[in-house]
Chain A
Amino acid sequence: MTVLPVVTHALLVVIAATVGFVWGLSEIVAAFKTETGRALRTGGAWLLIFVNSVAAGGVYLFAATAVTGLDNWHSAVLIGLSWPIILRNLNIKVAQPIQPPQAPEEAHAREAAAIRFEQMYAGFQDLARQLINASLTRQRMALVNKAIELDLAALEKQARLLIATAPLQGGAEATQYVDQVLQRPDVEDIKKALLAAFIMNNFSRSALEDWVAQHKSQKRKASIP
């Protein structure tokens, strides 16, 4: 194997890792289309991106060390792009008896004795997805808690204003829903929580976030003598 200067080799690893980084980023964008920006600000997203990046760099490093002729930027980019495919089709058989399996159960047991990287990666993706979803939901519920501190009449007014200005989002059915919320024999905080969740889920999280911030600052100004 040709010994490359360390800097060049490191640069090629960085190229592969960058491609892995972009790949991880694209997975987040595809999975969280409506909340991409917020999803990217969670720990779970960075964990996924980091692992994608390290795995792409690692696979390239391993391949370039084992196979001659891979020490160029084309190979680094290609391996950076294709490492998930390589990994997903890779498995290590823990045991492989020489005799063929006698029964389907035995074949299944042998399959179970193989370490399937595809399953490991899918499990890891699932963990990252759960972490991101939990973070986003916690953020949304914190916002609902903030909205509960405001007046019910103000929340109702905002909900009706949004329905009137965005007729494609529900229209008459949405108006009827707001009426039903207000007529329920629930305590006021539950009505507020439902209205806040209604605004956030049927319009946007920013619609509620901006309004809560604006309303609070107005209240603060009004309270200053």
Chain B
Amino acid sequence: MMQRNAARDVLEAQALLEIAKSLDPLERRILLSLRQRGPGLAMEIAVRVYKFPDDIRQPLLNLRDRQLVRSEGFSGSAFGDELISLTARGEQVASLLASGAVPETPPAPAEETSKQAGAREITPAAVLQREAELLQKLGELAAQQGDAKAASDYYRQALDLLRKIGAASSAASGDT
């Protein structure tokens, strides 16, 4: 049970890191400003990042779609009717950004075609590589918890995957 929870934690942390990496600089600044200065109306959030309310409408919608921010109805002001704040997930991503664990410059999708981006995402070798990394982490966790058998199983599975990747890449280089 503990092992399953630890594995889930690793996967969640990995997912949060991926989300943080995929955010553009303006979205990152918005999240960080909400973390540092707390919730606010769109006008307030815009001035915090030296933008105008129109400029941050789309980034805010993107962040809301990804469940990183939420908006609550707000009455009694002529400057906006939605109070924007971080969700629990948004707090976690903002903490990751503040800790410096996420590289400064996110991948620039504008510089690569959508075809290239799609190809990069679905490369079987990349998927296998990722799976091998996760299995390795699970093995480390199992070893930390003193379960040598489970650790050895995870490491063996990771090794098998790495061998598969190696064989596939040498076959590919042989073709070219």
Contacts and interface: CB of A to CB of B under 8 A. Distances in A.
A133 B48 contact: no
Nearest to A193: B79
Nearest to A177: B50
Given A35-B38, A201-B47, A201-B48, A138 B79 contact: no
Contact of A34 (B37, B52, B76, B78): B37
B76 A138 contact: yes
A201 B79 contact: no
Interface string A175-189: 011001000100000
Secondary structure at chain A's binding surface: helix, strand, loop or mixed? helix
Contacts of B74: 134, 137
B36 to A, nearest CB: 8
A46 interface: no
A141 B77 contact: yes
A118 B77 CA distance: 34
A194 B47 contact: yes
Given A141-B41, A194-B43, A170 B77 contact: no
B85 interface: yes
Contacts, number: 57
B72 A173 contact: no
A137 B41 contact: yes
B38 A201 contact: no
10 contacts: A34-B38, A133-B39, A134-B72, A141-B76, A141-B78, A174-B50, A177-B47, A193-B43, A194-B43, A201-B37
B83 interface: yes
Nearest to B85: A133
A1 B37 CA distance: 52
B139 to A, nearest CB: 28
Given A34-B36, A133-B83, A194-B47, 19 more contacts: A34-B37, A35-B38, A130-B72, A133-B38, A133-B85, A137-B40, A137-B77, A137-B83, A138-B76, A170-B50, A177-B47, A177-B50, A184-B52, A197-B47, A200-B44, A201-B37, A201-B40, A201-B47, A201-B48
Interface residues of A, number: 27
Given A141-B79, A144-B79, A197 B43 contact: yes
B27 to A, nearest CB: 18
A50 interface: no
Contacts of A177: 47, 50
A140 interface: yes
Nearest to B43: A197
A202 B38 contact: no
